[in-house]
Amino acid sequence: MNRKAFIRTTVWALSATLALGTMAQTAAPAKAKVVFQVSDGDAAKWNLALNNAKNVQDELGADKVDIEIVAYGPGIGMLKADATTGNRVTEATKAGMKMVACENTMKNQKLGKDDMHAGIGYVPAGVVQLMQRQKEGWAYIRP
């Protein structure tokens, strides 16, 4: 390879490397992810969890954070169709938050999906869902 060809190839390689480096630096940052545990049968705790989730979404931006609330044990009441927090759960799901009920708890309390809020999802085991989310790097909050 002659000297001109060598210089041209080197300049091209450096340019490509710099371009790729710049693209990597300007890539969108990873979305924040937070999972909330609701396992208390206390409406004040339910509202606290919903307030915390809304504050996170307001602060970071709805498009920059995934929020999931996992209800199990006595906390399952938060996601029942007749819960005092029903309107707030509706608002949260419309805002893009995911609410999930533990099917183990539902079975133990003899609850069916028709007893639950219409806009929620379900997981086989709430505790396992929390473990999985933490393993995936989600921040964990228990208000």
Q: Which two tokens stand for residue 128?
A: 């396992």
Would you call 60 helix, strand, or coil by DSSP? Answer: helix
User: Taking the model in full, what pTM does it have?
Assistant: 0.80
pLDDT level of residue 120 (50, 70, 90 thresholds): very high
CATH tag, 32-141: 3.40.1260.10
pLDDT at residue 110 is higher than 70: yes
**pLDDT tens for residues 80-98?**
999 999 999 999 999 999 9
Domain limits, the chain: 1-28, 32-141
